[in-house]
Structure 1
Amino acid sequence: MNAETSGIGVAPGVASGPVARLAAPPEPPADTGPEADPAAALERIKAALESVATELDARASRASGPSADVLFAQSMMPRDPALAERISKALSDGRSAPRAVAEAFASFRASLEAAGGYLAERAADLDDLRDRTLAELLGLPMPGLPDPGHPFVLVARDLAPADTAGLDPARVLAVVTEAGGPTSHTAILAKSIGIPAVVACPGAGGLADGDPVLVDGRTGAVTADPDPAAVQAALEAEERRRAALEAGGGPGRTADGRHVQLLVNLGSAADLEAAAGADSEGVGLFRTEFLYLDRAAEPTVAEQTETYRRVFAAFAGRKVVVRTLDAGADKPLAFVDHGHEDNPALGVRGIRMARRHPRMLDDQLEAIGAAAADGEAEVWVMAPMVATAAEAADFAERCRARGLPTAGTMIEVPAAALRADQILRTCDFASLGTNDLGQYTMAADRMNGELAELLDPWQPALLELVALAAEAGRELGRPVGVCGEAASDPLLACVLVGLGVTSLSMAPSALGEVRAELAARTGADCAAMAAAALAAADAREARAAVR
């Protein structure tokens, strides 16, 4: 048959095997009318919600990296008091317990979608939480991955974080989803685990259990009933590619010797050992939110200092770029009154929190400064969600007052990219967060599968903003890196270098791919690739032109 469909390749690799589809979730039973004891029903539902949250906590504690971060964030949602309030109201309105759960989750989902931005990204996760809560409440089998008794290619409409984080590469050969985008949870987690993945693939709906398929996570091609000779050739080429990756190492360089720093992203203390053991020149993005998000009270300066000391000791002699607290929007703090915002994604988050709570930022910088003074890592600090040169200047002044000489800014707001020359005059470096910069540039929710093409980091409009920031850095002698998901795409990494980016930060699993691709290209090759991408009409054309 050799029927080929395509989506967006988000995790490199080639795999072939039979399809196993994700089972359909449990359907809530028909509404049976008012509960005899609404108060007792509410307690049963709260117990079910807590059971679901506790299981996600347990999974998060066994995971590391992005998997742990995503699972922990998801475990907070069943515990949201607003959800319990909506369930209570539905019970008071005469709904049965299962129907009250279903309606409350639907209402909660609609509210998150209406909020837009980061909160809207989490709306899709509510479907999985609803299904798990109903299964717990009704004593039904918990939704989960198929188990056909042999390795398989997992095909689904979409995957919940709880399912994606639990994927076993020994059982799941590849992942193909109809929905999702290049920065969705499925994409990020599959890449971190090392499983080939293709998202936003409409043709996946026509694949049935048992159908043999060939999946290419680099190109996004999914071939049903592939020719055995083609499968053999693809797998042999994949083996050669992996062998070449394992043989490579050392600093990132183009074929003509241009140095490009290859760095890792670090999101939690659980990641530290693996990140420090990776063949990198340091950390390009140390997310510090994990110190704050799972607490009822703010961490003390002493607690923060000790955590930073451990990280800096693990990277002695290497660079560590610390991003200060990026809270607000989808990452509320239990000990901070965030107030009501009609659109939290465009509200008080990131560096804007320092306007309301300046002491929190000062305490964090004090802790980072104390730990840096005690260690041998080269510590840089950057602020998230900077939009103006005044914000960048204020942050740099705060850093230097606490003994931190290298202060920079994230560029994830289009205004910051457009005025990068002004911003970089006030600080020492910049790092582009392409996930946020992409969604703000295209006005498109990162988790909306319908908008996956707009969210593709190959979008020429996004690349133009990268080029503007990189050019400002070149003229001023300031390094400009990329720490978003775009940095882990080997071909796109070459484009970014061609645009003038000086460092790339990614999941440790992506280092080998990017290092090998850079080593095969000269600086002139990268510049030509960048020109081809910028001249394209859209992301699909840009990717094709570069290939």
Structure 2
Amino acid sequence: MPKPVSEPPAGERLSPSLSADAATALLRSSAKAVQVELQNRAAGATGASKAVLEATALMATDPMLIKAAIKHINTGTSAERAIWESGASVAEMLINLGGYMADRATDVFDVRARIVAELRGVPAPGIPLSDEPFILVAEDLAPADTATLDPEKILALVTSGGGPQSHTAIIARALGLPAIVAAPGVDALEDGTEVFVDGGAGTLSLEPGAEEIAAVEAWKTAAAILAVFDGNGRTADGHLVPLLANVGGAKDAVKAAEAGAQGVGLLRTEFCFLERETEPTIEEQVVAYRGVFDAFPGQKVVVRTLDAGADKPLPFLTDTSEPNPSLGVRGYRTDLTTPGVLARQLTAIAQAAEGSAALVWVMAPMIATPEEAAEFAAMCATAGLKIPGVMVEVPSAALLADRILGEVDFVSLGTNDLTQYTMAADRQLGTLAALNSPWQPAVLKLIGLTVEGSIAEGNNKPVGVCGEAAADPVLAVVLVGLGVATLSMTSRSLSAVGAVLKSVTLDDARKLAALAVSAPNPTEARKRVRAGLPILEELGL
């Protein structure tokens, strides 16, 4: 992939033939051109890719970014250097805020490079064009580039930066692309170098030989087998494990239903709220939710109420000045500072459920105490929603699962945040990728404790997983062995997870789960379980 746009020289001044006003006008027009180009790309995208492109397009003309650059221009700095310095300042501010805001710094670096390229009259760096499929190797990908990856052209993705829960990694998983992130030094590889990427093992080999070529051919055969899920998640001895889909709107839901998903384990309702200056009306929300419900008549659809804050700030709901947004007012907690939004959303969900054949369950994110669970259950009852649940993302919720499940009807594990909070490791940082793994024995123990709480004191209530861990066919076996009842994932993962589960009995899964929990580290945990799943080699996973 082309190298990033070079930094304009420090101290670069305006050309004598260009006034400050003219340079300002040129900057504004260039920023607008970048925004329009990103908006056009967003118009042809869907799901997570569309959201990423739209967010990056907004950043291109962000008033804070542009105004700071204009101040530099008015002191005689060139437009290119002005936007570069402005971008650095804005990015530093976002990084200091932490959490999602820190992740938005990547958007700032992306758009400033695109604006500089526009000012210079040269193409912005991006995904290279090729008539032949290729493996993309880069320092990292800008969100806007990641969102437009074409799996028909790109065979695999390898970056030296990023982390396991970065935009790059998440979208690569959604596209079904083998990906390795946080691999220092790979960006030094020369174009045309032949490499072998094993996404399952997380390894890259130079000068592949006959063994690697045979593995590629085996994978092609296995991929054809894994292309279809029969809509029946179960183990070899018939233990049912419904495989559900994570969706972000009606289009995602339709695709998931076509892929054989047995319901929806996570409807991210943020799709109704993001990129808006005001709260959507109840009527707007009803239409949006009904589109998802209608895709799954007679099947379960688990709706997560608005998970705003931290990685999803909203101007009408969240405070972006919080010193640590990931530990601040997010998810259910926004009802403390902005009461009414959650109650109106629950009303909209209830109205959308009326007349729908879907079985609608509702859960709140970022629940930390039994009292919060009880309050949410009461709000659901007031709205007329009969099956309330909560997300287990905070370690305290896992430790007190028995009491929490005394207040609600189910819980769903958000393994991304549960891992982040358990290990005190920002999930966006590649340097902490080893800590931020759902294979961490500490995380697996918390999952086990949650399941124990679900059967304590006669609760007998289901525990699901809707985090990224459920999409890993190897880890899915461990989750089932720990007692998880349902798994929810991107629809592309359904067939692989289903195929591996059908190769083991429930007793096999329990034994493998015990091996993982007792392992000294996540690498050994994964190694032990893979050794007990011979089907992985057969399927090329």
TM-score by length of 1: 0.91
User: For residues 474 and 90 of structure 1, do their structure 2 counterparts lie closer, same or farther at Cα, with a shift above 3 Å needed?
Assistant: farther
- State whether residues 394 and 421 of structure 2, in contact with CA within 8 Å, keep that contact through their aligned partners in structure 1: yes
**2: CA distance, partners of 1:198 / 1:97:** 37
Partner of 2:410: 429
What does residue 218 of structure 1 align with?
200
1:265 counterpart SS class: strand
Flag the 1:94–1:425 CA change in 2: closer, same or farther, 3 A.
farther
Shift of 1:339: 6.2
For 2:526 and 2:402, locate their aligned partners in 1 and report how far apart those are by CA, in whole Å.
28
Contact 1:121 1:445 in 2 (8 A): no
1:532 lines up with 2:515 in the alignment: yes
Partner of 2:4: 25
Hey, what does 1:545 align to over in structure 2? 528
For the 8 Å contact 1:176–1:198, the answer to whether it is kept is yes
Deviation at residue 92 of structure 1 after TM alignment: 4.4
1:370-519, aligned counterparts within 5 Å?
370-475=351-456, 476-519=459-502
Change (3 A) 1:125 1:445: farther
Equivalent residue in structure 2 for 1:308, among 289, 304, 309? 289
Find the aligned partners of 2:24 and 2:442 in 1 and give their Cα distance.
49
One-letter amino acid matched to 1:543: R
Measured in 1, the distance between the counterparts of 2:20 and 2:397 equals: 52
The match for 1:181 among 163, 171, 185 is: 163
Contact 1:69 1:267 in 2 (8 A): no
SS in 2 for 1:513: helix
1:100-123 per-position Cα deviation (integer Å, ceiling 9, x unaligned): 211111122222221122222232
DSSP-derived class of the 1:50 partner? helix
Question: 2 CA distance for matches of 1:184 and 1:112?
Answer: 16
Paired residue for 1:367? 348
Sort the Cα spacing of 1:438 and 1:272 in 2 relative to 1 into closer, same or farther, 3 A. Answer: same
Residue equivalent to 1:13:
none
Aligned equivalent of 2:274: 293
Code of the residue aligned with 2:167 in structure 1: it is: H
Which deviates further from its counterpart, 453-462 or 486-495? 453-462
Question: Does the 8 Å CA contact 1:254/1:523 hold for their aligned counterparts?
Answer: yes
Q: Secondary structure at the match of 1:57?
A: helix
Supply the distance in 2 between the matched residues of 1:75 and 1:531 (Cα, whole angstroms): 47
Quote the Cα distance in structure 1 between the aligned partners of 2:48 and 2:441: 27
Q: Is residue 98–residue 323 contact of structure 2 (8 Å, CA) maintained in 1?
A: no
Alpha-carbon distance, 1:149 to partner: 3.7
Deviation at 1:390, TM superposition (A): 1.2
Moved more, 510-519 or 422-431: 422-431
CA deviations on 1:116-147 (whole Å, 9 max, x unpaired) are 22222232333222211211222121111123
Task: Report the CA distance shift for 1:390/1:477 in structure 2 as closer, same or farther (over 3 A).
Answer: same
Give distance in 1, aligned partners of 2:513 and 2:21: 62
Name the CA distance, whole Å, in 1 between partners of 2:34 and 2:478.
Answer: 43
Identity of aligned residues (%): 51
The answer (yes or no) to whether the contact 2:249–2:291 under 8 Å persists in 1 is no
Query: d(CA) in 2 for partners of 1:540 and 1:125?
Result: 32
Please name the residue that 2:92 is paired with. 110
Q: Is the 8 A contact 1:388 1:423 kept in 2?
A: yes
* Structure 1 range deviating more: 434-443 or 269-278: 269-278
Structure 2 CA distance for aligned equivalents of residues 339 and 169 of structure 1: 35
- Aligned with 1:122 (options 89, 92, 104): 104
Alignment of 1:187-336 (within 5 A): 187-202=169-184, 204-227=186-209, 229-246=210-227, 248-336=229-317
* SS of equivalent residue, structure 2 residue 205: strand
Partners of 1:297 and 1:344 lie apart in 2 by: 21
Taking the aligned partners of 2:179 and 2:377, their CA distance within structure 1 comes to 40
Structure 1 residue 349 and structure 2 residue 333: aligned?
no
Asked if the contact 1:293/1:334 (under 8 Å) is kept, the reply is no
- The 8 Å contact of residues 97 and 321 in structure 2, kept in 1 or not, is answered as no
> 2 CA distance for matches of 1:209 and 1:399?
56
**AA at the equivalent of 1:302:** E
How many Å separate the matches in 2 of 1:125 and 1:532?
41
C-alpha distance in 1 between matches for 2:56 and 2:252: 19
Q: Residue type of the partner of 1:535? A: S
| Contact 1:309/1:374 (<8 A) preserved | no
Matched residue type, 2:233: G
**SS of equivalent residue, structure 2 residue 517:** helix
**Alignment length (residue pairs):** 525
Deviations along 1:218-250, one digit per CA (max 9) or x if unpaired, are: 1112111111x2133202321332243246512
Amino acid paired to 1:499 = L
- Decide which moves more: 404-413 or 418-427: 418-427
1:522 to 502, 505, 511: 505
| Change in 2 beyond 3 A, CA 1:468/1:176 | same
Q: Following TM superposition, by how much is the alpha carbon of 1:343 offset from its aligned partner in structure 2, in angstroms?
A: 1.8
Q: Aligned pair in 2 of structure 1 residues 221, 361: CA closer, same or farther (>3 Å)?
A: same
Which stretch shifts more, 85-94 or 487-496?
85-94
- Measured in 1, the distance between the counterparts of 2:434 and 2:260 equals 33
CA distance in 2, matches of 1:217, 1:277: 26
Match of 2:535 in 1: none
Structure 2: state its 5+ residue gaps: 531-541
> Which secondary structure does the structure 1 equivalent of 2:434 belong to?
helix
Give 1:163's aligned residue.
145
Structure 1 unaligned blocks of 5 or more:
1-21
Question: Quick one: distance in 2 between partners of 1:485 and 1:270?
Answer: 20
Q: Can you list the C-alpha shifts for 1:2-41, whole angstroms capped at 9, x where unaligned? A: xxxxxxxxxxxxxxxxxxxx11122133233368644543
The answer to whether the 8 Å contact 1:120/1:445 transfers is: no
Letter in 2 for 1:212: E
User: Cα distance, 1:148 vs. partner?
Assistant: 4.4
Superimposed CA distance per residue, residues 459-494 of structure 1 (whole angstroms, 9 cap, x where no aligned partner): 112212211112211332111111111110100111
When structure 1 is superposed on structure 2, of 427-436 and 84-93 the one drifting more is: 84-93
Give the deviation of 1:302 after TM superposition: 1.2
Q: Which moved more, 1:198-207 or 1:217-226?
A: 198-207
RMSD: 1.9
Partner of 2:43: 61
- 1:121–1:448 CA contact under 8 A, matched in 2: no
The amino acid of 1:126's aligned partner reads V
Q: Identify which range, 47-56 or 157-166, moves more after superposition.
A: 47-56
Bigger drift between 278-287 and 322-331 goes to 322-331
Is the CA contact 2:160–2:183 (under 8 Å) kept in the aligned structure 1?
A: yes
Q: Of 93, 98, 104, which aligns to 2:80?
A: 98
